[in-house]
Structure 1
Amino acid sequence: MASIVERPKKDGTTTFQVKWRLDGQWQTENFGDTDGATQFKNLVEAHGGKWPHGWVRGRGFVEPDEQPGDMPLITWANRYVSRLTGIDVRTREDYESEIRLHFQHIEHTTASGLTLPATICNLTQDDVTDWVRREQEGEQDPTDHKKWRRRPADPKSIRNRHGLLFCMVQAAVDATPQLRTTNCCKKTSLPRLDDHIDEEMTFLERDEYARVATEIKDPDARDLADWLVGTGMRWGEATAIQVRDLRLTADVPTVSVQRAWKKAKKGSPKAFYLGPPKTKKARRLVALTPAQVDMARRLTEGHPPEGFLFRAALGGAWRHANFYNRKWQPAVQAAVEKGLPKRPRIHDLRHTHVAWLIGANIPLPAIQARLGHESISTTVDRYGHLVRALDSEITAAVQAALGAQAPRHGRLRAVVNG
């Protein structure tokens, strides 16, 4: 039987030594905590008093598939993000934050049940699944179950973090020399995006939007809200439109989406800067209604080509926080107090725009182009459930099929004349 001996050190710390006899000789292994010592003691006893298979004294388990080039997962993740191209500084910082806050909780569990730090080579599908589950469940404070050490993550955040991990592991598969032969993230079962009670998107009926808009007393803020719901543009796109982007005298008046506001690097003098739109297809032309053309002419009169279409009180571009706190939120609150049954966000104006187009039987591919979605699947996944235009045709087809059922018994017989 193995035993654990506490050995105080001069610096005030304590080493926990596991001792047992093997072939008449004392064997020892030291640990810095009781949990590790107890876990190892149980492994020794489970192996009949022998060293656990794969354990190297002073190092721990060294797995057979350990190979040159292996490194801690966090080290690999940070190296991967530092070498990414085609992303802005703020996106890189966001990735680094995800690694620091969430990837540190990824662990590797050996076949014998021992938990080890994850490396880019020892990570398995089970390890990824265990991490996703921990992200989904969160971690409660053991001393107070009303508090959280880590709150449960929402399904979208988990999918985004898993997607980043997938790319990192794939980089190890594609590396030269190859560090992995397979991507252990491929078969992960992720939580459903609709696996919650609250609606992620809020859609406003026309009269519901009118109730909110009526409460926006600043005419410049009202113009911006009308533009957002009337074009479906993202906030960062609409507030970045400049006079030179408008084509108001064309046969079909349009506005060209060429730029968008981006969050600047932390510590930068300015919080935002103008950069390219979100994706390649986000660069697009958006057709304008006569009312929108009239608005654009009124707002751009006397302004230079680089002037912004929508301007705050001091003449600069709108900032989301200012618009939300001073214009949008008070208007929504006033409408709610008067009976509005919803609390829409600013981004819900984009969702509302789509709902109105679908209600008018506009095809999803046309909506995809107008919104600037990179893939039609994004449009279908997000808004496909709103498409009801063919309900009557579908039910009629089902009714026709059920109304002409084939005989349930007997064989088919040829019809013979005469």
Structure 2
Amino acid sequence: MASIVERPKKDGTSTFQVRWRQDGRVQTENFSEGPAAETFKGLVEAHGNRWPHGWVRGKGFVDEPQIPGDVPFTDYATRYVDRLTGIDERTREDYHREVRIHLALLKHTDAAGREHEATICNLTQDDVTDWVRIEEAGEADPADPEKWLRRPADPKSIANRHGLMFCIVQAAIDSEPQLRTANCCKRTKLPRVDDHTDEEMTFLERDEYQRIAAEIKDPDARDLADWLVGTGMRWGEATALKVSDLNLTTERPSVSVQRAWKKAKKGAPGGAFYLGPPKTKKARRVLRLSPAQVEVARRQSTGRRPDDFLFRAAMGGEWRHANFYNRKWMPAVAAAVAKGLPKKPRIHDLRHTHASWLIASRIPLPAIQIRLGHESIQTTVDRYGHLEQGLDDDIAAAVEAAMGAPSPRSRLRSVG
């Protein structure tokens, strides 16, 4: 523990000496005022009875030296996003918004507890941790505690923004000349995604889906819902299918996923959506169709040209998510709930439901990864791995059988 010794002077004033032991040696620092000595004593103790980082004896905290090429973090981040290749303009716009609204909350706190503007060079692991807490807490409206100036971010959003931050900092490490030597985002403890309860995945049993489907009175809308739950395709993939993507003439009928609807950059000509590549490279895939899906495909493609969309709304154009959701899906869900259905699934939950049905049928996760077009098996495991608990009985039975049967070597000894 540190202590303070007051030393009276002949003129009636006093100096105050902070004393402590560090590595067996007495260390001291002098102050002309008691409150300053008390503050420094607290800093020494907070640092484990050691000199506070950045403190120079007799001078106090010395400002951190400027590094050549250092710039505000948001400026560096903006330039990084501008120079990214291989992304569409909508994604670039999304990244700029994340930098402008969320990464701009980063601050650098020095050893004395003083806040500074975050730069690409002064950012530390503690600063990143502080940012995570700010994102988790949100910012309430001081004029109305029931409202938010900035809502608390969910764990998935924080993880996505942290991933962008990691790449930005890594760019400074890989730059020439090098601006950093270590990535301060590397060991950040992020909130667990599975601690979040909003927008939970909803898995429907077959009879539960049928109760909703029975309430969809538009046969074309019913065909689309059946297709989504039967193939596990994303909404943007299924509604972008064209007749030419079907292969129904072989013994193994299939459909090829080659494109998906993308949200356009705000103000872009041609509307809010456009056709682009699927979400990931592995989202380009060929799906085997069941007899029921072949029947839907034939019904929807009969009399259509190869370049026509497979699924079409009432006026003959492509389906829009808001139109289907508000006019077809939600009224059907509401009707089913009124008749006792205990769940309120979203359209995307049809994809989750498809995965759960495959797992219940003992389809292995790597095959489900391919079916759903996940870029990584980890995505499949993270989202659906917990559903494999239904295999525990099979695993236990297999282990019991193996442990209970005599080994080949012991059988040989008994024969001999």
Residues 337 and 70 of structure 1: CA distance in aligned 2, closer, same or farther (over 3 Å): same
Q: Distance in 2 between matches of 1:249 and 1:400?
A: 46
Shift of 1:140: 2.4
Residues 42 and 402 of structure 1: CA distance in aligned 2, closer, same or farther (over 3 Å): farther
Provide the secondary structure at the position in 2 that maps to 1:293. Answer: helix
* Aligned counterpart, 2:80: 80
Q: What is the letter of the counterpart of residue 119 of structure 2? A: T
Shift of 1:147: 2.9
* Aligned counterpart, 1:92: 92
Residues 237, 261 of structure 2: 8 Å contact kept: yes
Q: Distance in 2 between matches of 1:374 and 1:130?
A: 31
Percent identical pairs in the alignment equals 70
Q: What is the letter of the counterpart of residue 163 of structure 2? A: G
Shift of 1:222: 0.5
Any idea what the Cα deviations from partners look like across 1:63-111, whole Å, max 9, x if unmatched?
A: 13x3111100000111010111111111111111111111111100001
Residues 163 and 42 of structure 1: CA distance in aligned 2, closer, same or farther (over 3 Å): farther
Any idea what the Cα deviations from partners look like across 1:124-145, whole Å, max 9, x if unmatched?
A: 0000000001111222234543
* Aligned counterpart, 1:57: none
* Aligned counterpart, 1:181: 181
Q: 5+ residue gaps in structure 2?
A: 1-34, 41-54, 406-416
Q: What is the letter of the counterpart of residue 266 of structure 1? A: K
* Aligned counterpart, 1:303: 304
Higher-helix-fraction structure: 2
Any idea what the Cα deviations from partners look like across 1:176-227, whole Å, max 9, x if unmatched?
A: 1111001000000000011134562000000100011111111111110000
Shift of 1:296: 0.9
Q: Which moved more, 1:174-183 or 1:395-404?
A: 395-404
Shift of 1:396: 3.7
**TM-score using structure 2 length:** 0.81
* Aligned counterpart, 1:276: 277
Shift of 1:149: 2.5
Q: How many residues align?
A: 356
* Aligned counterpart, 2:242: 242
Residues 199 and 105 of structure 1: CA distance in aligned 2, closer, same or farther (over 3 Å): closer
Provide the secondary structure at the position in 2 that maps to 1:390. Answer: helix
Any idea what the Cα deviations from partners look like across 1:362-400, whole Å, max 9, x if unmatched?
A: 111111111001111111111011013431133346768
Q: 5+ residue gaps in structure 1?
A: 1-40, 55-60, 405-418
Q: Distance in 1 between matches of 2:308 and 2:132?
A: 47
Q: Distance in 2 between matches of 1:262 and 1:312?
A: 18
Any idea what the Cα deviations from partners look like across 1:140-189, whole Å, max 9, x if unmatched?
A: 23454333232211110110110110111011111111110010000000
Residues 111 and 253 of structure 1: CA distance in aligned 2, closer, same or farther (over 3 Å): same
Q: Distance in 2 between matches of 1:316 and 1:142?
A: 47
Correspondence 1:9-48 to 2 at 5 A: none
Q: Distance in 2 between matches of 1:380 and 1:341?
A: 27
* Aligned counterpart, 1:368: 369
* Aligned counterpart, 1:291: 292
* Aligned counterpart, 2:387: 386
**TM-score using structure 1 length:** 0.81
* Aligned counterpart, 1:313: 314
Residues 61, 112 of structure 2: 8 Å contact kept: no
* Aligned counterpart, 2:194: 194
Provide the secondary structure at the position in 2 that maps to 1:108. Answer: strand
Provide the secondary structure at the position in 1 that maps to 2:252. Answer: coil
* Aligned counterpart, 2:352: 351
Correspondence 1:219-258 to 2 at 5 A: 219-258=219-258
* Aligned counterpart, 1:341: 342
Residues 403 and 290 of structure 1: CA distance in aligned 2, closer, same or farther (over 3 Å): closer
Q: Distance in 1 between matches of 2:210 and 2:326?
A: 19
* Aligned counterpart, 2:165: 165
Q: What is the letter of the counterpart of residue 379 of structure 2? A: T
Q: Distance in 1 between matches of 2:365 and 2:79?
A: 40
Shift of 1:245: 0.6
Q: What is the letter of the counterpart of residue 320 of structure 1? A: H
Shift of 1:255: 0.3
Q: Distance in 1 between matches of 2:36 and 2:152?
A: 32
Q: Distance in 2 between matches of 1:267 and 1:213?
A: 37
Any idea what the Cα deviations from partners look like across 1:251-309, whole Å, max 9, x if unmatched?
A: 21100000000011101231100000000000000000112112111211121111000
What RMSD, in angstroms, separates the aligned Cα atoms of the two structures?
2.3
Q: What is the letter of the counterpart of residue 251 of structure 1? A: E
